[in-house]
Structure 1
Amino acid sequence: MWVQRSAVADQIVVQRPESVSTKGDPMGKNSRNRRNAKRRKQEARRRDTRASDSPGSHGPAQPEDPEPCPCARCQRSDEAPLRNIEDWLINRLSLLWESGWQPVEVVRQARRSSGRDAADLVRIAILVDNSQREKQRRDPLWVAQVESLGDPSSADDVNIGWLERWCLAGPAPDSRSHTSTELLLALVELGPIHRMIPPPGSDVVDVVQLRTDVDDPDPVLAKVRALLNKAESTEFAAEAESFTAKAQALISRHSLADVLGESHGGDCRLASIRIPLDGAYVRAKASLLAVVAVASRCQSIYLTSYAMCSVIGRPRELRRVEILFTSLLVQAQAALDEVGRAASPGSSCRSRSFRSSFLSGYASRIGQRLVAERDRAVQSYGPDALPVVARIDSEVEDEVERLFGGDLTSARSRTYNSLGWGSGVDAADSAQIRDGGLATAGSPAELPQRPREGSR
């Protein structure tokens, strides 16, 4: 006989071979009929037994009998699946921690894939998971992320049954139950990424997470932030670019001074950060981050499945990349909005392809200017700086190769709008400022315009 699992009834179904000839069978026809009748009765009894043990098997409630089915299985049929989902969520979170995911990243992915309710549910699940790990060693960065998610509203929220209470607390309990199932599927789709913070109870990482040293703040970064804040607040494009240019010039000079100082015995260890890219035009934003990273002697890898980038470099450069990227993104969005306001209704300037190409063109031109400013800073230090910066570039490339190996491909833009690209280049090139500028006119394009993508 052959045995297969039935997808409908979830029971073992016996598949018998086709009947064969009974010629010469010593058993008579009457005996064969009695045997078949006996088998049919046995199968009928088995069906009755299975039916009597299923939830709601006693039939629908009659008007004169408003009480629900009293059998034990009917009484627990709604609770058991939720308890199972509770256990599964906590177990899945443990696997995600070991796979490199961090609490705030899991909440973000749940929101991206399944909406706000799923994000709130996984947030509570993380708090429940954390309450069970109080005796385990936890990294301060991990603790800070969990604390940023908030505290349970009551002591019962972390006890058994928290999922049922969460479902009942919403305006549509049935919808929330469906959300829990969607969340299960979303978490299954999260594959392994690099561990940057040790998971609870462990000290193993793949690459060191960038840590902000509050006891030793960088005074140059404070000046850079002030310049970029001015660039974001002004209404004049030329003035915004002037402030941005001064900020990048300050970053380039100070960064090179750090490199030369660390080459004489300082700490040159590499670190990493993951930067989420939310909203529309994620690929174009990844291109902007890539050019900012390269200009700061870092490398940015776009994790396509999760809409975020992993940036590798020296700690101080990583901080500057994060600050400058955020500011440039704000300025690019402001320039794009200005183009949209000036365009007539129905104009192609309001199309998705135009806006995406605008940001890509903006990123390409900004990248050229940032690299030109970086190279001028190197030249100002003379030939002694060249071997040092070459070594830093080589170390970053080696680290990217170690972490990602052959999983990288060159990202290509899926849409291209020449008008949008040109407008983006014009927005990035609107002010020709030679003193504190990002570049002089006609500076060479030394930066690839496509981000590198990882398969993770």
Structure 2
Amino acid sequence: MTDKDTAGAAARTVERALAAVLSARAGDAGSADGIDTGASLLAADPAADAELRRRGEQFVRLAWERGWGPADVGRLVRRDLDGPHLRLLAELIAAEARRYESLPPRWAAQLADLDAEREARPYRADRFSYATSVLELYLLLVRLPAIEPVGPVPGTPVHLTAPADGEPRMLTRIRALLAKAEATGYPQEAEALTAKAQELMARHSIDEALLADRTHRGDVPGACRIGVDAPYETAKAILLDAVASANRCRAVWNSAYGFSTVVGFEPDLEAVELLHTSLLVQGTAAMTRAEAAQRAAGRKRTKTFRQSFLLAYAHRIGERLTLATEQVTAEQVTAEQESATRAAEEGVGGLLPVLAAREVAVADRTDRMFPETVATRVRGATDAEGWTHGTSAADAARVPGGRGAADGPGGTDRRGRIRPAR
């Protein structure tokens, strides 16, 4: 048999295996039988391995074209499959990514995270088990629907306004402050560190907005996705919405696929990613400590306690962050008014019109990306002690600004934008 004949036979084996898997509808009881049939065909034909891998890389590329990114797909694999599938996914993505000279922003970190998991999850299996895992992964990939893209697909030329030579020094300082806030065991120290980080974020955002306006840089809003994982995903999505709103962004939660899409200008998106991650770490640690104290006192209703804790934490954090942003903005406006003559001579526009224009641009981009979103009211806090402890934890992580009115359990009416499932 010639090499051409061998390749043709391998392709036919892969076609038959995939046809057996894809012939069953999602959720159909015959789906498992189709995977077993396909895995048996592949296990018996080692010559089909290369063609099977090539098909997998095509499915990965199809996911990119449908709007998905590495972290998005990895999140689904962790949720719906398991470790071997994640390793296989990481290998496919790494092989497919090598085809491109350039990758979209944020992809380098996502690929590095997947590669780290691949290295941490050695996978050894017989041929049938291996083929089964491959087909289960491929079935997930081909059934991914089209979603709103947040950036170009790999290989698309990316035009940068400035050389991407490391992150700005301000972000490095913010990252260091938040890392210290997460690591300290003293609430007062965490409070001071987080407060300083939020202040720097707000000032950095204003500086970037004014610079873009002064230099006519032509910045436009972008978008990124942030995972919102179970359990208590509603409260976590509300926390992310609060952080996004305070940093002049908008968040839209896709509950079906476990992420929120955040829309905003790049400096603000970076701030949201950093601050949300840190506040979630701080809030989870505080919840664990409070829950331990509750258990020591004989309490057992931990689920309602956690839910109420996180809802209260998100509600109060939203108040704190918004007040902090307003305070920094007011200080900048006052400083601008004091130097109005110099600004007029230099042809510098006012801060408030610049920020208003950016807010309109973000709203327009969000509405174009998500024309079918709905606002929802969440009333899920039913545990008074959980609410009280969550509010206290938010105060411990507070940012500059006065105290807002505290609602009781069930009193939050935080509204979030949710993309309806299709």
Task: Tell me which interval the TM-score lies in, with the shorter structure as reference length.
Answer: 0.7 to 0.9
Among 183, 189, 207, which residue is 1:233 paired with? 183
Among 393, 399, 403, which residue is 1:441 paired with? 403
Equivalent residue number for residue 100 of structure 1? 67
C-alpha contact (below 8 Å) 2:307/2:380 kept by paired residues? no
Q: Quote the Cα distance in structure 1 between the aligned partners of 2:375 and 2:406.
A: 24
Report the more deviating stretch, 358-367 or 417-426.
417-426
Equivalent residue number for residue 451 of structure 1? 416
Q: Which amino acid aligns with 2:184?
A: T
Among 176, 195, 203, which residue is 1:245 paired with? 195
C-alpha contact (below 8 Å) 1:368/1:443 kept by paired residues? no
* 1:18-167 mapped onto 2 (5 Å cutoff): 78-79=44-45, 86=53, 88-130=55-97, 134=99, 138-139=102-103, 141=105, 146=111, 149-150=114-115
Deviations 1:259-287 (A, max 9, x none): 23333234332122211234532222221
Report the more deviating stretch, 359-368 or 335-344.
335-344
Equivalent residue number for residue 314 of structure 1? 265
Distance 1:362 1:145, change over 3 A: closer
Find the residue that maps to 1:406 and give its secondary structure: coil
Deviation at 1:113, TM superposition (A): 1.1
Among 317, 328, 340, which residue is 1:377 paired with? 328
Q: Quote the Cα distance in structure 2 between the aligned partners of 1:301 and 1:359.
A: 19
C-alpha contact (below 8 Å) 2:226/2:259 kept by paired residues? yes
C-alpha contact (below 8 Å) 2:308/2:380 kept by paired residues? no
Q: Quote the Cα distance in structure 2 between the aligned partners of 1:229 and 1:281.
A: 24
* 1:183-222 mapped onto 2 (5 Å cutoff): 183-203=137-157, 214-215=164-165, 217-222=167-172
C-alpha contact (below 8 Å) 1:220/1:254 kept by paired residues? yes
| Higher RCO (C-alpha 8 Å, min separation 6) | 2
Deviation at 1:92, TM superposition (A): 2.2
C-alpha contact (below 8 Å) 1:339/1:349 kept by paired residues? no
Report the more deviating stretch, 331-340 or 78-87.
78-87
Q: Does 1:260 align with 2:222?
A: no
Find the residue that maps to 1:297 and give its secondary structure: coil
Q: Quote the Cα distance in structure 2 between the aligned partners of 1:318 and 1:211.
A: 17
Deviations 1:46-78 (A, max 9, x none): xxxxxxxxxxxxxxxxxxxxxxxxxxxx99883
Equivalent residue number for residue 44 of structure 1? none
Q: Does 1:338 align with 2:271?
A: no
Among 424, 431, 435, which residue is 2:390 paired with? 424
Deviation at 1:145, TM superposition (A): 5.2
Distance 1:233 1:82, change over 3 A: same
C-alpha contact (below 8 Å) 2:220/2:361 kept by paired residues? no
* 1:272-421 mapped onto 2 (5 Å cutoff): 272-278=223-229, 280-344=231-295, 347-348=298-299, 351-380=302-331, 381-382=333-334, 384-410=350-376, 412=378, 416-421=382-387
C-alpha contact (below 8 Å) 2:381/2:387 kept by paired residues? no
Q: Which amino acid aligns with 2:241?
A: A
Q: CA RMSD in A?
A: 3.7
**Number of corresponding residues:** 358
Q: Quote the Cα distance in structure 2 between the aligned partners of 1:143 and 1:454.
A: 27
Find the residue that maps to 1:429 and give its secondary structure: helix
Deviation at 1:316, TM superposition (A): 1.0
Deviation at 1:148, TM superposition (A): 6.2
Structure 2 unaligned spans of 5+: 1-19, 24-39, 338-349
Distance 1:418 1:251, change over 3 A: same
Distance 1:272 1:128, change over 3 A: same
Distance 1:372 1:143, change over 3 A: closer
Distance 1:306 1:81, change over 3 A: farther
Q: Quote the Cα distance in structure 2 between the aligned partners of 1:81 and 1:412.
A: 55
C-alpha contact (below 8 Å) 2:104/2:153 kept by paired residues? no
Deviation at 1:294, TM superposition (A): 0.6
Equivalent residue number for residue 163 of structure 1? none
The structure with the larger Rg is 1
Q: Quote the Cα distance in structure 1 between the aligned partners of 2:151 and 2:97.
A: 15
Identical aligned residues as a percent? 32
Deviation at 1:193, TM superposition (A): 2.1
More helix per residue: 1 or 2? 2
Find the residue that maps to 2:263 and give its secondary structure: strand
C-alpha contact (below 8 Å) 1:349/1:420 kept by paired residues? no
Deviation at 1:402, TM superposition (A): 0.9
Deviations 1:151-185 (A, max 9, x none): 9x9xxxxxxxxxxxxx9x72454433332332233
C-alpha contact (below 8 Å) 2:178/2:193 kept by paired residues? yes
TM-score by length of 1: 0.67
Q: Quote the Cα distance in structure 2 between the aligned partners of 1:397 and 1:362.
A: 26
Find the residue that maps to 1:121 and give its secondary structure: helix
Report the more deviating stretch, 423-432 or 399-408.
423-432
Equivalent residue number for residue 175 of structure 1? 129
Distance 1:388 1:444, change over 3 A: farther
Q: Quote the Cα distance in structure 1 between the aligned partners of 2:269 and 2:67.
A: 20
